Structure 1
Amino acid sequence: MSTLPQQVKIVEVGPRDGLQNEKESVPAAVKIELVDRLSRAGFANIEAASFVSPKWVPQMATSTEVMAGIARRAGAIYSALTPNMQGFDAALAAKADEVVIFGSASEAFSQKNINCSIAESIARFEGVARAAKEHGLRLRGSISCAFGCPYQGEVSLDAVADVVGRMRELGCDEIDIADTIGVATARKTQAVMLRAAQEFHLDRISGHFHDTYGQALANIYASLEVGVSIFHSSVSGLGGCPYAKGATGNVATEDVLYLMQGLGIDTGIDLDMVVDAGQFISQHLGRKGSSRAGNALAAKRAG
């Protein structure tokens, strides 16, 4: 049996990647409360904002207000998605600790999503990457559709490796390998992660899994087996992908924490406080959260 990491970093993406897909507008005060609850739970990294055009992502229009209103925990990283220099300037003004740039491993997805090739999309981020380094901000690269695409189907390992290499050249501190539509299975996950690790430091590669086919936890375990120790998750399983038909939310943070707890892997995060945060945002959204562990623990507590 392979040795699993003793410690992992969980990047909480619910306040950004999760809430950006909600149809009803979520007030800034609720987002601030959610981020603060997650900060108190012990997350070392929270994706809190997105400085994109409100025309395209109306849910993120309050990002400046949110970043100004949160109670920052010392040492924690508060990240913001920045698609261009305008977004970068806004993130800098909002005192983001890390800016996130993104590209696709699928040529078809890149064309459908942002109307340009993968190479063009990465080239657009050169200014943002340079500015991030000049201002001493962390730079994270996110690669969507690394395990499959809603338009072209299979995505080759070489295609993923190519984008990882491009992100590395831009100076990314961390690179996310994302299963945007949730089609990955354990063997494929390991193959992709090991190929990505030929281009970038394994300890700075993260797994971002969606649970469309119920495989996210299996894929996280498979990633642990090959040495990946950073994972993204979303409180209460918030989120999806507006460009991928039928894609459900990110893997739920509560479920990931329950898995790690069972494996004896340290996360530094208080599961009970995350359950509370999940119940808080689910109540606000007027629906039951999609975290099985979160709902089970909440029910047991209420019992």
Structure 2
Amino acid sequence: MQQIQQVTFKQKKVDHLYFDLVDLNDVIELKPVDHNQFDHHKVSFYVIFLITEGNGAHSINYQDYSYQKGSIFTLRKNNIHKFHKSEAKGNILVFTEDFIIKYSDKFETLKLFQLFNEMLSVPKIQLNNEDFEEIYNIVVQIQTEFSRDNDSYSIAIIRSLVQVLILKLLRIKSKNNKNFNNQHYHISFIKLQELIEKECFESKKVSYYADKMGVTSKTLNNITQSIIGKPVKSFIDEILILQIKRLIINSQLSLTEIAYHVGFDSSTNFFKFFRKRTQLSPKEFKALNK
């Protein structure tokens, strides 16, 4: 069975701690010793992936997305993705939480989580020509600063430019997504999401998470309905399905063992749950991702 590798951040330059900028072509041509870029692998950092020329596809959390000039993908830490061979050109920015959050206030940190949170919206943005020119120019400025040697100002300038880039992308994304404009519940939503991701194998009940957060089940429904337009039970199931997919791909357990491991009282109920939400049986999903 294929094993999902955890890809950690490897800095190339001491003076550019926690940040790197690479060409898509270089990534395609790499032969890493710790993972295969064309197999599913988990990232331990944040990624902004801009396509500047050509066409292709990229997989994020087992979903394939086509791309062309002006396509941008945003991946948060612990997302699973894989590259497909392509002759397209692009830039990939990678950075850790320490690079941005350590030097950001709560407002900027919230914006970071909004842009990279695939639960709020799809992780792909398609830029129009005007937006592409603006975003590409920022990336070029970052590239210029990144190529400088022995410049004590570069790290701060790069960090500031990345923050501008995030805010510009969030502005573009929020034009057609009301999820980003509701500030009232966002902090509670992030806390709920982190709690479900951590404990979804323990319980699938709304009341369990309401008790954990010290609120009513109605309040949790208000939070998820306000932010993503879904009841909290659907949100729990959505996260659970993704965690199950990761376990199917990245475990030596049998499907029956996985059923009990993730909290189902029978393999039959597990199979029904999975098929209802993915239109595939666990066995079919496993075969598709070998």
Q: Same fold per TM (> 0.5)?
A: no
Hey, which of these two has a bigger chunk of helix by percent?
A: 2
Please give the range of the TM-score, normalised by the shorter of the 2 chains. Answer: 0.3 to 0.5
Normalised TM-score (structure 2): 0.35
Normalised TM-score (structure 1): 0.34
Which has the higher Rg, Structure 1 or Structure 2? 2
